Amino acid sequence: MKEMYPKNGRVILHVDMNSFYASVEMAYDPSLKGKPLAIAGNVEERRGIIVTCSYEARKFGVKTTMPLWEAKKLCPQLIVKSPNFDRYRAASMGMFVILRQYTDLVEPVSIDEGYMDITESFEFGSPIEIAQTIQKRILEQLDLPCSIGIAPNKFLAKTASDMKKPMGITILRKRDIPSKLWPLNTNEMHGVGKKTAEKLKTIGIQTIGELAKANDIQLKTLLGINGIRLKERANGNDHRPVDPESIDEFKSIGNSTTLPRDVSNQQELFHVLESLAETVSVRLKRKNVLATTIGITIRYKDRKTITRSKKLANPIAQKEELASLAKQLLLKHWSGDPVRLLGITGTDLVEHDNAYKQLDLFSYEKDAKKEPLLKTLSSLRDKYGKNIIETAGTHHSDSDENRGTATSFNKDFLQKNKESSP
């Protein structure tokens, strides 16, 4: 079987669950199968949008991120359910348990997709046999469909898994790139968004093939180093390894909300920031990190959006500090016009154990009183390990899970997945 594998290259699988949230609901309640089903946010408020939908719903034109009212207009018989994140997490954990039975090199990239490096997994069969077995097991054991891409690198594997949905298995080799990849428009390429595709059009690049042959200087001038990276991808080159530890690499933690109505009252906006600060604080503590930069996002009624941030002398994670700084930024940068969306983000994160604090005139007295206790805690940690005693701030409930967006849930999930893996 070893001869079915390349002597020098890698064999990468990208496993992508199909309409994951909707599929989990169908597995939980089989009466939903074959019906147009959508998972959406708060159905009572303006922010209710489609998180995902079944393929039956897609036939009517229902799409992810579409406002709920528009989806119901296209498909009056649409069944709408609120997200059940505990249910989705359990299903996802089950999926990754199956993947790890074939290789230790499994990299979750979100709750419903992950990469596998099966180069040394020839004992389980050929690459196509492994993919077929995984797809079959996930369907039989979890009652969930998935698509799998097989390729020599992560970019091509991701591209391949998108080519046939649902329940597809696609092999994409480097020799297939000119015929399968290059004729496609750039906006169909993984890593190229709508805005980037529009920029590429300004220099006459509309297809992936044209991007693959583009001038390096032109691309770098237009898109910076990312332009060169995209050209490499268009030529099928991607040297990133499958890294099980990469789920530790988070750079920011934030939360935002679209308001039920446009708000121009300062106190109402302050209350929204306090609620957002509480959620961000919980997520920072869950990951045992502190933020050294705090930013806010303000979107106005006309959809104009601004982001403003402040670098901090002392790392923070407490909701009161987060809320206070967010309010300061709002007062400084808010134009006074009605606000449609607010967000708070903590960036430049540092691990709690590596954080330092510069005492200032106002915090010195309070910190000085804590010093004997902190010295005792430090002594105990040095002697018995850093986890022997945790402060109350590091203990928290999962009660905020259902409040966050699907994106925030994905980030939180990745850390939990890491903690549960062997």
CB 345, CB 277: distance < 8 Å: no
Quote the tokens at residue 390: 């945790």
113: annotated active-site residue: yes
Catalytic residue among 113, 123, 210, 278: 113
User: Residue 84's closest CA among 51, 114, 47?
Assistant: 51
The phi, psi pair for 395, rounded to 5°, reads -100, 135
Q: Is 143 annotated as a binding residue?
A: no
The position carrying tokens 């393929």 is 55
User: Residue 12's closest CA among 248, 146, 170, 165?
Assistant: 170
One-letter amino acid at 108 equals: P
Return d(Cα 332, Cα 186) in angstroms, integer. Answer: 40
Task: Answer left, alpha or beta for residue 126, where phi above 0 means left and psi between -120 and 50 means alpha.
Answer: beta
Q: Is 382 annotated as a binding residue?
A: no
Q: What is the full DSSP assignment across 92-109?
A: HHHHHHHHTTT-S-EEEE
Task: Answer left, alpha or beta for residue 165, where phi above 0 means left and psi between -120 and 50 means alpha.
Answer: beta
Residue 30 Cα to chain centre, angstroms: 28
CB 138, CB 144: distance < 8 Å: yes
- Enumerate the active-site residues: 113
Give the residue ranges of the annotated binding site for Mg(2+).
16, 112
